[in-house]
Amino acid sequence: MAGKESTLSHYLKSPTLLIIVFVVLGILVARILGMSTLDTLMTIMYFMGIALSLNIIMGFAGYVSFGHAVFLGLGGYAYVLLVYFIKPLADLQNVGLGLGAFVVAVLAGLFAAAVAASVGAAVLRLRGAFFAIATIGLDFTALYLMKAIVPELNPEQFFGAQIILPADKIVEKDIVFNAMFLTLVILLAVNYYIRKSPFGVGLTAIKEDEDAAEVLGVPTTMFKIIAFTLAGFFTGMVGALFSLNGGGVDETLFNLGHSIDMIVMIVIGGLGTVLGPVVGSLIYFELYDLLLVHYPGVNLIILGIIVAIVVLFFPEGLIGLLRKYKVMGMRLRDLLE
Amino acid sequence: MEDILVVENVTKRFGGLVANNKVSFSMKRGEILGLIGPNGAGKTTLFNVITGVYRPDEGRVIFKGEDITGKPPHVITRKGIAKTHQIVKPFNDMTVLENAMVGALFGKRARQITIGEAKEIAYQSLELVGLAEKAEEFAVKLTLRQKKMLELARALSAEPELLLLDEVLAGLNPKEIEEALEIIKKVKEERDLSIIMIEHVMHAVMNIADRIVVLHFGWKIAEGTPEEVANNPEVITAYLGDPRYALRFVKRKGGEGDGSS
Ligand SMILES: Nc1ncnc2c1ncn2[C@@H]1O[C@H](COP(=O)(O)OP(=O)(O)OP(=O)(O)O)[C@@H](O)[C@H]1O
Ligand SMILES: [Mg+2]
């Protein structure tokens, strides 16, 4: 019966893990051999990072957070303010080839997570469109709070909600790369672990039918809050390192466009799997670039149409679609997680 | 024997409608209790009160000596009560096996079993209800009858002590009803279960139940052995309204296997 096969043979059979390792190594090799510019790699990791973060609440539990950029913004502001005002943290950034910056990003992520955890119980009581709208409200609230608070913190230096980090408080791009890379690896591991754990099974049950899940014993409220908090935490970390990479932060980090980026990547790739957001973000990145080069001006229109076609005709996304088929007697569903 | 479940004076209102009105009964461990009554009598509502889906306006629910009134459903499930839904609620985009695994992972032994063990338990439940060969199908593909059996398998995977069955026999043909009854008797013996069955298929519940509770417009109007209930004039008139139908109902109680209406 199922469950008896050895764990090793199971993992060897799992292309998901192979693909994840391949992607991770690919980024590393491209970096070491200088095949792509640092900026390109940072952008890929950023896209993949936000898609994998949102995946935890949207892909697994089925809660589509339209205001998820709020955590990008909160993480970004938390990071920039931390290193701006706390000298030891600014210095810490340069310690350990990126480990230090990673630690500061964890602090920023914790701030985003704290916000997610404290509003989670309230907004996660809502379902469907109401949840989506509530998160948009959260995003706007945070945006206007930043606009109000940030100028007060340092009236001479901060204009509007924009903060530019002075030269002694930013770090080499290499360091940002390493910190982001580490974050991405952890995100992939967390997604994979969730997918394979009882927690992930519970989240999937919530996505399918929340009331039935609760009656079957799934602690739905707690699971949703944990998933939302994790999603907020990692989005915050990515937002933090993205801001560090850009040398500062402004209110555009709260733009709905970022939320939509995340959602679209997950939808293109396929909900509820680990590979979905990975593949989806790579496709999205390529498309984004390609369209921008070849069809400047109408690139976003074309992208929108492509997304509409995917949602209309392949709502399971690419990985979801592939999972329906068999190859050489093996069901891809067992292989593509 | 100890009382596994005591329902004390439970009242549940929906606005002006009183779905359960001061309902009290108790059951012993190992009993099969039939819960009958016309449509809208409040049977499903009572199940929802017992499992914590609804908090009663008045009254208490005591399970194994512990007051569980108002506890959330997932907590009550872990204490050992499992329920099937009258309106089936399969997790459509999960396989049949995964559906049953949810029951195992979050049931009586939640947090104590691995995914592998959950698979094992789930598979056994599927075998029991005759769904094993469908294990790898998506639940959405099952027929209604199979979805009913999946409800049963999911509930059994939770390894409950008290099983609440809400019309699992509805929609089955006479042969399938007999098979389902055999399954229920078998798991009851094997697992030392206590069962409450809501059922409209009269001869079935009359045959399998040790005792029967009758609800009508939210009130408990009778309680007793199948014979007592079947011969209770108040039940016959109130429950069935139509005395001619009532007569058939009384006769039917002995008529095994005669499932035609
Ligand atoms: N969530 C609800 N909100 C409002 N009214 C409800 C709700 N649930 C049930 N009711 C009402 O309560 C009464 C009892 O319903 P219930 O479903 O418990 O009956 P039942 O005995 O299970 O009937 P059936 O045999 O048709 O399944 C009905 O009048 C029903 O319309
Ligand atoms: Mg009912």
ipTM confidence score: 0.89
> Which residues are CB-neighbours of B1 under 8 A, at least 6 positions away?
B28, B29, B30
Distance from Cα A328 to the centre of ligand 2, integer Å: 47
Contacts of A212 in chain B (CB under 8 A): 85, 89, 91
Which tokens hold the place of A241? 């390192």
d(CA B48, CA B55): 8
Beta strands in chain B (DSSP E): 3-14, 17-28, 32-36, 58-63, 66-67, 81-83, 162-166, 194-198, 211-216, 219-224
Do B128 and B140 form a contact (C-beta atoms < 8 A)?
no
Distance from Cα A325 to the centre of ligand 2, integer Å: 39
Q: Among the bound ligands, name the one nearest to the CA of residue B37.
A: 1
Q: Is residue A23 part of a domain?
A: no
pLDDT for the residue A188: 94
Mean pLDDT of all residues in B193-205? 91
pLDDT digits (tens, 9 = 90+) for B200-231: 888 889 889 999 999 999 999 999 999 898 88
Q: Please say if the pLDDT value at position A2 is more than 60.
A: no
Do B146 and B139 form a contact (C-beta atoms < 8 A)?
no
Q: Is residue A284 part of a domain?
A: yes
- Partner-chain residue, chosen from B92, B107, B110, that has the shortest CB–CB distance to A208: B92
Q: Please say if the pLDDT value at position B164 is more than 90.
A: yes
d(CA B152, CA B163): 9
The CATH number that applies at residue A45 is 1.10.3470
pLDDT digits (tens, 9 = 90+) for A310-332: 888 887 888 888 887 777 777 77
Q: Is residue A212 part of a domain?
A: yes
**Which of B14, B20, B36, B220 to mutate for ligand 1's pocket (most ligand atoms within 8 Å of CB)?**
B14
Do B33 and B197 form a contact (C-beta atoms < 8 A)?
yes
A interface toward B at CB cutoff 8 Å? Answer: 1-4, 196-198, 201-202, 204-205, 208-209, 211-221, 331
Contacts of B115 in chain A (CB under 8 A): 3, 196-198, 201
For the ranges A293-307, B139-153, B208-222, the lowest mean pLDDT is seen at: A293-307
Greater model confidence, A336 or A208: A208
Distances (CA, A) of A188 to A277, A278, B10, B247: 10, 9, 50, 67
pLDDT for the residue B245: 56
Q: Is residue A172 part of a domain?
A: yes
Q: Please say if the pLDDT value at position A73 is more than 50.
A: yes
d(CA A262, CA A48): 9
Distance from Cα A304 to the centre of ligand 2, integer Å: 46
Could you give the number of structural domains in chain A?
A: 1
Do B8 and B59 form a contact (C-beta atoms < 8 A)?
yes
Give bridge partners of residue B141 from the DSSP assignment.
none
pLDDT digits (tens, 9 = 90+) for B65-107: 999 999 999 999 999 999 999 999 999 989 999 999 999 999 9
Beta strands in B90-210 (DSSP E): 162-166, 194-198
In B, residues 170-229, which contact A (CB 8 Å cutoff)? none
| Nearest Cα residue to atom 31 of ligand 1 | B40
Alpha helices by DSSP H, listed for chain A, are: 7-12, 15-32, 38-54, 69-85, 87-92, 99-123, 128-153, 173-196, 198-208, 210-215, 220-246, 256-269, 275-294, 299-313, 317-322, 332-335
Cβ atoms < 10 Å from Cβ of B150: 26
Q: Is residue A25 part of a domain?
A: no
Q: Is residue A9 part of a domain?
A: no
Please give the full DSSP string across B219-251, using - where no structure is assigned: EEEEEE-HHHHHT-HHIIIIIHS-HHHHHHHHH
Mean pLDDT of all residues in A29-46? 88
Q: Do B94 and A1 make contact, defined as CB atoms within 8 angstroms?
A: no
For the ranges A49-53, A124-128, B42-46, the lowest mean pLDDT is seen at: A124-128
Q: Please say if the pLDDT value at position B141 is more than 90.
A: yes
Do B83 and B51 form a contact (C-beta atoms < 8 A)?
yes
Greater model confidence, A115 or B244: A115
- Model confidence band, residue A80 (pLDDT cutoffs 50, 70, 90): very high
- Model confidence band, residue B32 (pLDDT cutoffs 50, 70, 90): very high
Q: Do A208 and B94 make contact, defined as CB atoms within 8 angstroms?
A: yes
Q: Is residue A16 part of a domain?
A: no
Mean pLDDT of all residues in A50-62? 95
Q: Which secondary structure element, helix H or strand E, spans residue A163, and what is its range? A: strand A163-164
Question: How, if at all, do strands B81-83 and B162-166 pair?
Answer: parallel
> Which residues are CB-neighbours of A291 under 8 A, at least 6 positions away?
A299, A300, A302, A303
- Model confidence band, residue B261 (pLDDT cutoffs 50, 70, 90): very low
Question: How, if at all, do strands B162-166 and B194-198 pair?
Answer: parallel
Of the candidates B254, B249, B227, B253, the one whose C-alpha atom is nearest the C-alpha of residue B238 is B249
For the ranges A18-32, A117-131, B41-55, B201-215, the lowest mean pLDDT is seen at: A18-32
- Model confidence band, residue B256 (pLDDT cutoffs 50, 70, 90): very low
Q: Please say if the pLDDT value at position B260 is more than 50.
A: no
Q: Do A208 and B154 make contact, defined as CB atoms within 8 angstroms?
A: no
Any A CB within 8 A of B148 CB: no
pTM above 0.80, yes or no: yes
User: Which residues contact ligand 1 via a Cβ below 6 A?
Assistant: B 14, 17, 19, 37, 39-45, 86
The shortest C-alpha distance from B81 to chain A (Å) reads 9
Specify the amino acid at residue B236: I
Mean pLDDT of all residues in A263-276? 89
pLDDT for the residue A43: 93
Any A CB within 8 A of B163 CB: no
Q: Please say if the pLDDT value at position A13 is more than 90.
A: no
- Model confidence band, residue A129 (pLDDT cutoffs 50, 70, 90): confident
Residue A330 belongs to domain spanning? 39-335
What value does the mean pLDDT of chain B take?
90
Of the candidates B34, B44, B38, the one whose C-alpha atom is nearest the C-alpha of residue B228 is B34
Greater model confidence, B240 or B134: B134
Torsion sign over Cα A219, A222, A228, A234: negative
d(CA B137, CA B141): 7
Mean pLDDT of all residues in A101-113? 97
Q: Is residue A247 part of a domain?
A: yes
For the ranges A9-18, A61-70, A71-80, the lowest mean pLDDT is seen at: A9-18
- Model confidence band, residue A4 (pLDDT cutoffs 50, 70, 90): very low
pLDDT for the residue A83: 94
Any A CB within 8 A of B73 CB: yes
- A219, closest residue in chain B (CA to CA): B74
- Model confidence band, residue A35 (pLDDT cutoffs 50, 70, 90): confident
Dihedrals phi, psi of B232, to nearest 5 degrees: -75, 115
Greater model confidence, A210 or A96: A210
Long-range contacts: B246-252, Cβ < 8 Å, 24+? B249/B202, B252/B202, B252/B203, B252/B206
pLDDT for the residue A309: 87
HSE on the CB side for B74, CA within 13 Å?
A: 21
What value does the mean pLDDT of chain A take?
89
Q: Please say if the pLDDT value at position A263 is more than 70.
A: yes
